Homo-oligomer: A and B are copies of this chain.
Amino acid sequence: MLLAQSTWPEIEAFLTRSKTVIIPIGSNEQHGPTGLLGTDWMCPEIIAHEAQKDADILVGPTFNIGMAQHHLGFPGTISLRPSTFIAAIGDWTRSLAAHGFEKIYFFNGHGGNVATIEAAFSELYAEASFARQPRGYALKLRNWWDLSGINRLAQTQFPVGHGSHATPSEIAVTQWAYPHAIKTADYSPTIAPSGPIREGLDFRARHPDGRMGSDPALATPEKGGELVRAAAAALITEVASFSAEPFLV
């Protein structure tokens, strides 16, 4: 069930069946010479939308801009500062909690978001901790590639050249969903050196075409489809488990 394509009475009815909502969250940032700028918010959106066809789960609108300051050296990247990102996650969460959602599952597509999302969770929990009160809801962060079985599948599909940014697995997922937007490019075969993550100009100097150790030309829509189906199934299982978890306080 897609929240944005539902009416409020439908959500009111859903809340009598479940208190869990899934929020796809990602980033809009460069993904090398052939990857789509939307890759990181598209991937969790694609998987979650697929999953809700097979289970009575609720998928919220996609949080499509995250923390990608290091990619700002490449045109098209849009980033929130961590402080803004924390505030926004806070308001999404406060809104959902106001309706009675008790389990809010952030389904993430961007590694660079992880630290700030965790900080945002702590910011929300801290209000309760200072007040010595139960928070009343639980927050969970899961990267789509960390769902059960997915990293292994990706390694099987792409035993070499997977890398860590503009990976063939994420690009394959977008190819499956947006086949008309498959791009090609003659990029140099040398793999950009890995290195620290700093400001945008430094990142572009280290990774001139945006890739980090990946060979995105390995991606195919078929492999993307395999990943989507496997991830959607794993997502359903994990969300069921999260929903079933009791509150201790």
Contacts and interface: CB of A to CB of B under 8 A. Distances in A.
Contacts of A42: 4
Contact of A128 (B34, B87, B122, B201): B201
Interface stretch (A49-57, A63-71, A148-156, A220-228): A63-71
Interface in A126-146: 126, 128-135, 138-140
Q: How large is the interface on A (under 10, 10 to 19, 20 to 34, 35 or more residues)?
A: 35 or more
Given A36-B7, A41-B61, A205 B249 contact: yes
A75 B4 contact: no
Interface of A: 3-12, 15, 28, 30-38, 41-42, 60-65, 67, 69-70, 72-84, 86-88, 90-92, 94-100, 112, 114-116, 118-120, 122-123, 125-126, 128-135, 138-140, 178, 181, 183, 185, 196, 198-202, 205-206, 210, 247-249
20 contacts: A7-B31, A7-B37, A8-B32, A8-B77, A9-B33, A28-B61, A61-B65, A62-B64, A65-B92, A79-B129, A80-B88, A80-B91, A81-B126, A83-B86, A86-B119, A98-B200, A119-B119, A125-B199, A140-B196, A202-B248
